[in-house]
Amino acid sequence: MKTLAILNGPNLDRLGKREPEIYGHATLADLEARLRAEFDGVARLEFFQSNHEGELVDRISVLADAKIDGIVINGAALTHTSVALRDALAGSGLRAVEVHISNIYKREEFRQKSLTAPVCVAVITGLGLEGYFAAVRFLLR
């Protein structure tokens, strides 16, 4: 059975409360429960969320050392600003899929550039929470 990590960056702990017209009404706990229910018995899913760049970088290092099978990452705002997050993903040796709930290409110009996308095997944007499910299915193939 494969082990996958689902990493979420800044403010994703506020899902369901923060800008529901963009991110919807489901909470991060709702998403985690839905993912567990969908992939129970198929994959081991580990969840981690932080509002702090260094904690996400540290977590990627731990996951690389554990030699898990892949990462689904929504780096949130750090996607567009963090060279450290990009370098952690690049140096991990792990397959990563970048996920965005909203379509970043329909948003502000600064959100349309991802520093982490070039070191990921795929990017899923604009599918809402379904993007996480698609990313997990892709990594399980």
Check pLDDT > 90 for residue 22.
no
Q: Mark whether 100 is an active-site residue.
A: yes
Residue ranges per structural domain of the chain: 2-140
Query: What is the mean pLDDT of the segment spanning 8-22?
Result: 92
Of the candidates 25, 80, 100, 105, the residue annotated as catalytic is 100
Please determine, looking at this structure, whether the domain spanning 2-140 carries the CATH number 3.40.50.9100.
Answer: yes
Asked whether 78 and 10 are in contact (CB, 8 A), the reply is yes
Higher pLDDT among residues 19 and 41, named by residue: 41
Distance CA(89)–CA(74), nearest Å, equals: 12
Query: What is the mean pLDDT of the segment spanning 32-43?
Result: 97
Check pLDDT > 90 for residue 27.
yes
Q: Within 13 Å, how many C-alpha atoms sit on residue 89's CB side?
A: 28
User: What residues form DSSP beta bridges with 2?
Assistant: 43
User: What residues form DSSP beta bridges with 119?
Assistant: none
Question: What tokens does 44 get?
Answer: 């081991």
Question: Angle 48-56-99 (CA atoms, 0-180°, nearest 5)?
Answer: 70
